[in-house]
Structure 1
Amino acid sequence: MINVEPTDKMANKTLRLVLGDQLNSNHSWFKAADNSVTYVMMEIRSETDYASHHIQKVVGIFSAMRSFSKALELNKHQVIYMYLNDEDNLQSFEKNIQSLIAKDNFTHFEYQLPDEFRVDVVLKELCKSIEISSSVIDSEHFFTSRNELEHFFEGKKTFVMENFYRMLRKKHDVLMEGNQPLTGKWNYDSENRKKLPKNHKPTPPLVFSNDVSIVLEEIHTTDIKTIGNIDAVNFVWPINREQSLQLLDFFLVECLQLFGSFQDAMTPNEWSLYHSRLSFSMNLKMISPQEVIEKAIHEWHKRPDEIEFNQLEGFVRQIIGWREYMRGIYWLKMPEYASMNFFNNKEKLPDWFWTGDTKMNCLKDAINQSLNFAYAHHIQRLMITGNFALLAGIHPDEIDAWYLGIYIDAIEWVEITNTRGMSQFADGGIVGTKPYVSSASYIDKMSHYCGTCFYRKEIKTGEKACPFNSLYWNFYDKNEDKLAKNPRIGMMYNVWRKMKPEAKVALLEQAEYYLKKINEL
C-alpha cells in the first residue's frame, strides 16, 4: 500500500518500535519526552521460536526489556509494553503494529535499523503494507555503518580484518599518536596466548542475584522450547544499564590486567576467567562499544604499571576490530551467507551436545558450562565445540542453530559470521584464512583438560586414543582437494604425505570408528 503523509487536520501521533536488542538509553529518541510519541516493546513468539534458545537467553532479554520500559516510563515517555501472555498480543511485529495503528489512530511509524537480516526484511515489508508514513533511524550504537566494510574493501578479493581494524583505529583516534599506533605496533596478538599456570586461581567473577522467577513462570505457561538450566532467584547476568556498568567496572579493575595474556586459556570449572562477559550487555545495547573502549583506555592511563599495553590492545581489538568486522561481513554477505557449506558437510550434532554427557573432558566442560551459564569464551567456542564439529563433518546448519540457541550473547549478526565463517570455514575463507582445527596437542597447550581425561592426548590410534587426533588427520585427508593449495596449511599436507602408509590407514580407520560411534564418545 502507498504510505500517506499526515495532513494538518490529523493529530500527529507517532508509534516507535523498540526491539529487544535496542535498549540504548542514550539514543537520540529518548533525549526528551514527547506526548505525540508512543514507544512499543513486545515479547513475541516469532522471536522466541525461530531457534531453540537457552532459557537464560529468553529470560535475560525479557527481563532487560521490562527494566528498560520502566526506565522510559520514569522519564515520562509513553510506553506500550506487550507481555508474552497478554490476550491482545498477536505474537508478531507485523500483526501487533498493524493492530496498534488501527486501534490508536497513529499517523506515523518509526523504527531503528535492526541488526538481524530477517527482522530487517519483516519491518521493510511492514512499512509497505501500512497506510501511514514510516521512517527508519540508525541504532546509534556501532562505530561503523552497515555498509562501511563493503565500501572499505570495494574492489578487493579478500577481507582482511587487520586492515579494517587499523582503519577504524585511525578514523576514531583510538590508541593513536597522529597517524601511527600509540606504541608503534598495531597488534599484540602474539603476546596474548598464554596458558594459565597450574596453581593459578582466577579472580572470582562478579555475578548478580536477579530474581527473574516471574518471567520464568510466564514462559513455563507456554510451549516455548528452550535449552539449558537457570537459577530463577539468582540470575547472574546484568538486566539493566546500571548492572552492565558495574560489570564493566569490575572487569576493568579486576580482570583487564590479565585479560590479554590469558584470553585464549582454558581450565575446568572456571567459566569466566579474565573475560569481560560484556557481550550480552553490548549486544542488547545497554552499554556502547565506545564507552567500553574509552573506559578501558582511561583505566590503562590510571594504572600503566599494572596494565601492560598488550592487555588493553587485545581487548580494544575484540570490540572495535572483530565485532565491527563481523557485523560488516554479515551485511555484505547475507542472506547467501546463511546457506554456505564449503565442505559439503552433512552430519548431525552428537546427542551429547545437548547434555554434556561425553567422556572427552574439554567438550564435557565447555558444553556443561554453556548449559549452566549460557556462556563460553571465544576459544572454547572456536577450538573445542567448533573444532570438534568441523572435524566430525557436522552440517553448518546444525552447529549454527546450536550456537545461536545456547549462548546468551548470540544474535545472528555476530553469531553466524563467527560460527559459519571463523569456526566452521563454511564460507570457504571469507572470514578466516584457514580452517581452525587442531589435534589434542593444541588443546593441551592452552588448557588443563587433558590430564584427567578418559582419553589419552598422546595416543593417536587404539584404545583411549584422543578422538581429536585421528579426526584431525581424517579432516585433512578428506578435504585435500579443497585445502591443499592453501598456503597457511601446506605444511600439514607435507607431514601427511610423509607418513608411512600403514600409519595413515590406522588413523583413518580410527577416525571412521569414532565417527560411527560418535554418540558414545
Structure 2
Amino acid sequence: MSRLVLVLGDQLSPEIAALKVADKDRDIVVMAEVTDETGYVPHHPKKIALVLAAMRKFAARLRDDGWQVRYSELDDSENAGSIVGELLRRSEETGASEVLATEPGEWRLITALQEAPIPVSLLEDDRFLASHKAFESWAEGRKSLRMEYFYREMRRKTGYLMDGDKPEGGQWNYDKENRKPPPGEVGFGGPMAFTPDATVEAVLDLVEARFSDNFGSLRPFTLATDRGQARRALAHFIKHALPKFGDYQDAMLNDDRFLYHALISPYLNIGLLDLREVCAAAEEAYRAGDAPLNAVEGFIRQVIGWREFVRGVYFLEGPDYPRNNKLNQQRKLPWLYWGGETRMTCLAKTVEQTREEAYAHHIQRLMVTGNFALLAGIDPAEVHEWYLAVYADAYEWVEAPNVVGMSQFADGGLFASKPYVSSGAYIDRMSDYCGSCAYDVKTKLGEGACPFNLLYWHFLDRQRDRLEGNGRMGNMYRTWDRIDAGKRAQILEEAEAFLERMSAGEVV
C-alpha cells in the first residue's frame, strides 16, 4: 500500500526527514499551494512568490529524480484550500491511507496534522543541529535561557571554529569587534540577483493577480528560487561580503540597504540551503585567510547560535508562546508600520526597505522597528503578526521568539536578560538616519525632540514596577531619578502627547 509523503513549502530539501524514510517506488509525494498558507497573515508578495516558485521547481526536481508527485497549484479548480484538505483529496484519489510528514515549523500546522482525519506520522525535522530532546535537556533547571551558553555547546558539537576543545583565537565571541558605525563607503554591490525564468514569471503573474492588495512590492523580483541559485548567492556573499560582514553587521545607511549582509536566511528557512554547508563555507574562508575571525565567528553564531536557540525556545515553550504579554502593552500598531507617513527617518527608511525588499537586517528589526514598538507600548501580538507578515524569512518558529522574547521582552525575561531599548543616541551612532530626520536626535525634550528620547524615559517610568528589580536596569533608573523633577514631568507629558497623536492617526 502506498503512502502520501507531505512536503511543505519550507521543506524544500531532498534530505527532509519524510523523504528519507519514504519509498520512491510506491509512495506519493504531495505538495500543495493553498489559501490557508498564503493567507493566515497578509504575507509580503515577494515571500509568497519565493515559496511558490521554489515549490514548483522542487516538485520538478523530485519528478526528475523518479518520485511520483501530486502537485496542486493555487488556482487549481479542485484545490481544497488547506494542507489537510489536499491530503484527504489525494488519499481519495490514490487509495493511500497513511501520511508521512516532517514536523512543520509552526504549531498551528502541527495541530492541524495531528487532528487530521487520516493517520499522519510526524517525523522531527533533522535539518537542525539541536533536537527537541537535546534542547530540553540543555534548558532543564535553568531559570532563564541565554543563547551564549547554548551557542558554546553548538560550537563544541559541530567543531566549527574550534581549536581542540577551545574556541579558535581563545574567545567564544568577538561581538565587541562587530559594532562599528557605518563606513564612508561600502565595497559590496549587494546580494546576488537573479532574473526570473518562465516558472518564476508564471508565479509572479499569479501573485500579482491575487495578492496585489498586500503590503509589499512584488517587482522587481530577484530572489533565488532553486538550490543552484541559492548556492551561488552563498558563494557570492562568502567571497565578496563576509570579510567585512562582522565589522559592519550592526550599521545602517539611508542609501545602502544591504551593506555586507548575506540575505540567505530566506533560502535557509525554506530548505534551499543547509546550515552545515553555510557554516562550512564560512569557516573555510577563515582557514584560507580570506575572511577574519571576527566576521566568520559572528556569522556562524547567527546560524548555529541564534537560529538554533530561537527554534529551541519556540518548541520548548509551546503554542501559547506568541501570545505572551508580560509587560501588558496594549497600544495598537500604528499605520506607519504599513507605510503611513512619518517624520522619523529611521522608521520611514526601514519600513520603505521592508515594503520593497521583504527584508531588513537584524539591527533594523531590533533597534528601529522593534525598539520603537516596545517604547511606544504596542501590543506584542500585533508586532509579532507584522513581522510574520512582512519578511521573506519569517516563519513562526524563528520569528516569534525573536520578536516576542528578544525584541518586545514580552516573555518577561525568559529569552533576554533585559529589554532592548535605547534612546535616539544608539541609532545616531550606528546609522546616518538622524542627519536627514525632521527631529533632532540631540534634543531631549521640547520642540523637535527625537521621539526615541522621549519614549525611552516614558517606557522606563511606566514599567518601573516590572523592571526596576532587573539588575541590568538599575543604572537607567538611577539616571532617571537624578533628572530634575520638572524635566521628568515635561518628558512624560510630551511623550504622552506624541503617543496620543500617533494613535489618533496623525503624522508623527
**TM-score scaled by length of structure 1:** 0.93
Q: 2:81 aligns with which of 76, 80, 91?
A: 91
CA distance in 1, matches of 2:375, 2:155: 36
Report if aligned partners of 1:25, 1:286 keep a CA contact under 8 Å in 2: no
Q: CA deviation at 1:484?
A: 0.6
In structure 2, the residue matched to 1:474 is: 458
Q: CA deviation at 1:196?
A: 1.5
**AA aligned opposite 1:385:** T
Report if aligned partners of 1:147, 1:332 keep a CA contact under 8 Å in 2: no
Give per-residue Cα distances to partners, 1:276-331, cap 9 Å, x unaligned: 111000000111111100111112112x2x42111100001000011000000000
Q: 1:411 aligns with which of 395, 413, 420?
A: 395
CA distance in 1, matches of 2:124, 2:272: 16
Report if aligned partners of 2:16, 2:102 keep a CA contact under 8 Å in 1: no
Change (3 A) 1:495 1:32: closer
**AA aligned opposite 1:186:** W
The residue correspondences of 1:130-141 to structure 2 (distance < 5 A) are 130=118, 134-141=120-127
In structure 2, the residue matched to 1:111 is: 101
Give per-residue Cα distances to partners, 1:427-468, cap 9 Å, x unaligned: 111111111111110100111101111111111122211111
Q: CA deviation at 1:15?
A: 1.0
Number of positions where the alignment pairs a residue of Structure 1 with one of Structure 2:
502
CA distance in 2, matches of 1:474, 1:202: 40
CA distance in 1, matches of 2:211, 2:238: 41
Q: CA deviation at 1:336?
A: 2.2
**TM-score scaled by length of structure 2:** 0.96
Change (3 A) 1:414 1:33: same
RMSD: 1.6
CA distance in 1, matches of 2:410, 2:167: 34
Q: CA deviation at 1:137?
A: 2.6
Is 1:121 the counterpart of 2:111 in the alignment? yes
Is 1:372 the counterpart of 2:356 in the alignment? yes
Give per-residue Cα distances to partners, 1:96-127, cap 9 Å, x unaligned: 1112112211143211111111111111111x
Q: 1:235 aligns with which of 217, 221, 233?
A: 221
Question: How many percent identity over aligned positions?
Answer: 41
Q: CA deviation at 1:200?
A: 4.4
The residue correspondences of 1:112-511 to structure 2 (distance < 5 A) are 112-126=102-116, 129-130=117-118, 134-211=120-197, 212-222=200-210, 226-231=214-219, 234-302=220-288, 304=289, 306-355=290-339, 357-511=341-495
In structure 1, the gaps of 5 or more residues are 1-11
Report if aligned partners of 1:53, 1:225 keep a CA contact under 8 Å in 2: no
Q: Secondary structure at the match of 1:157?
A: coil
Change (3 A) 1:111 1:189: same
In structure 2, the gaps of 5 or more residues are none
CA distance in 2, matches of 1:36, 1:197: 57
Report if aligned partners of 2:114, 2:120 keep a CA contact under 8 Å in 1: no
Report if aligned partners of 1:455, 1:464 keep a CA contact under 8 Å in 2: yes
Change (3 A) 1:157 1:30: closer
Change (3 A) 1:224 1:35: farther
Report if aligned partners of 2:266, 2:392 keep a CA contact under 8 Å in 1: yes
In structure 2, the residue matched to 1:41 is: 31
Q: Secondary structure at the match of 1:517?
A: helix
Report if aligned partners of 2:113, 2:120 keep a CA contact under 8 Å in 1: no
CA distance in 2, matches of 1:77, 1:291: 25
Q: Secondary structure at the match of 2:312?
A: helix
Change (3 A) 1:95 1:27: closer
Report if aligned partners of 2:266, 2:393 keep a CA contact under 8 Å in 1: yes
Is 1:19 the counterpart of 2:26 in the alignment? no
Q: CA deviation at 1:183?
A: 1.6
Q: CA deviation at 1:31?
A: 9.6
In structure 2, the residue matched to 1:6 is: none
In structure 2, the residue matched to 1:3 is: none
**AA aligned opposite 1:263:** Q
**AA aligned opposite 1:52:** P
CA distance in 2, matches of 1:285, 1:200: 30
